[in-house]
Amino acid sequence: MKKILITGAFGQIGSELKDYLRSIYGVSQVISSNYEMMVDNGPFELIDVTNYHQIEAAVIKHQVDTIIHLAALLSAVGEETPTLAWKINMDGLFNVLEVARKYKCQVFHPSSIGAFGPSTTKNNVPQVTIQRPTTIYGVSKVSGELLCDYYVKRFNVDVRGVRFPGLISYQMLPGGGTTDYAVDIFYEALKHQSYTCYLSEDTQLDMMYMPDALKAIVDLMEAPFDKLHHHNAYNVSAMSITPKELAQAIQEILPDFTIRYDIDPVRQSIADSWPNSIDSSDAKKDWNFEPHYDLQAMTKDMLEKLRKKGIQ
């Protein structure tokens, strides 16, 4: 990666990834972009990913050779606006891949545990398996995985990606996902010593702490092409946890913290359609994926970092 364009650079992943990449490759080498004007500490372009010409203009202007395509609608908000979710998630990806084909860029595109559905096995889901998701987000993620594979095979575009689990981070709140509770809970624990969770106490889902997710993106993008057996959509996870287990980990540090449950049927049914846990062994074999944060280490770090940010 030399000259990197990030779409959706001000979302939960992008906000941290742009600074992480700038610390590795240099500030001027990483161009952030967003559909609305933003103030940034490096080069910035106004890009609506549904507009091919805006992506192409930025790639030409900055001589971009890598596109990290993060602009997307997440699972819960996708169910509120399926047409918009399809347009942003699919038209956006198609435009990015077309620009990448024309200008020979490497591409990173995240898929998700949302690309699995109720007919996928529940535990330790293998890399290659049944994928029949029941959300528009999941349908767009599976279609995206296939489209990326098509561009690798048909046009030799170097497209890479992972299936991210729920991501937990302290810098930026996630927006509109089913796994958002795992971030919200920390803010409420510090501010009010209690949290009302919209998923049931035993809803088991994969999660990962943001520093591990950022490192995974760079490690995958820097891996030798011929070592990759899948290219895009590698399963990656660091922990498989329930709200009850996360609450218990917080209680070990904040003993007065309490959790109650008020189930949101939409997000609960999305979560119930996803696996309990996925198997990351292909990512480990092919590009040495190795997360550092387990539940306890992540919980400790989250609470420390949020306190430093003045959340209390």
- Give the gyration radius of the chain's Cα atoms: 19
113 touching ligand AKB, by CB under 6 A: yes
276 touching ligand AKB, by CB under 6 A: no
Q: Which stretch binds ligand AKB (CB under 6 A): 48-56, 120-128, 164-172, 220-228?
A: 164-172
Do 134 and 273 meet the contact criterion of CB atoms below 8 Å apart? yes
Closest approach of ligand AKB to the CB of residue 262, in Å: 18
Do 180 and 245 meet the contact criterion of CB atoms below 8 Å apart? no
- Torsional sign, CA 212, 215, 221, 227: negative
> Of 35, 137, 181, 195, which is the active-site residue?
137
Do 85 and 78 meet the contact criterion of CB atoms below 8 Å apart? yes
Distance of CA 311 to the CA centre of its chain: 24
117 touching ligand AKB, by CB under 6 A: no
Nearest to 12 by CA among 156, 210, 186: 210
125 touching ligand AKB, by CB under 6 A: no
Q: Which stretch binds ligand AKB (CB under 6 A): 15-23, 171-179, 190-198, 291-299?
A: 171-179
75 touching ligand AKB, by CB under 6 A: yes
Closest approach of ligand AKB to the CB of residue 28, in Å: 31
Do 180 and 167 meet the contact criterion of CB atoms below 8 Å apart? no
Active site residue 293: no
Residue closest to ligand AKB, measured at CB: 177
Label residue 6 exposed, middle or buried (CB < 10 Å: 0-12, 13-18, 19+). buried
115 touching ligand AKB, by CB under 6 A: no
Q: Which stretch binds ligand AKB (CB under 6 A): 79-87, 101-109, 160-168, 212-220?
A: 160-168
Q: Which stretch binds ligand AKB (CB under 6 A): 87-95, 125-133, 173-181, 247-255?
A: 173-181
235 touching ligand AKB, by CB under 6 A: no
Reading the block at residue 284, the tokens are 């480990």
At residue 49, what is the residue type? V
13 touching ligand AKB, by CB under 6 A: no
Nearest to 110 by CA among 253, 261, 216, 222: 216
Closest approach of ligand AKB to the CB of residue 86, in Å: 15
162 touching ligand AKB, by CB under 6 A: no
140 touching ligand AKB, by CB under 6 A: no
15 touching ligand AKB, by CB under 6 A: no
Where in 176-215 is the site for ligand AKB (CB under 6 A)?
A: 177-179
Which runs of E-coded beta strand occur in the chain? 4-7, 30-34, 44-46, 66-69, 106-108, 111-112, 159-160, 162-164, 166-168, 194-197, 205-209, 234-235, 239-241, 258-261
Contact footprint for ligand AKB (CB under 6 A) = 74-75, 112-114, 137, 164-166, 177-179
Task: Name the residues annotated as catalytic.
Answer: 137
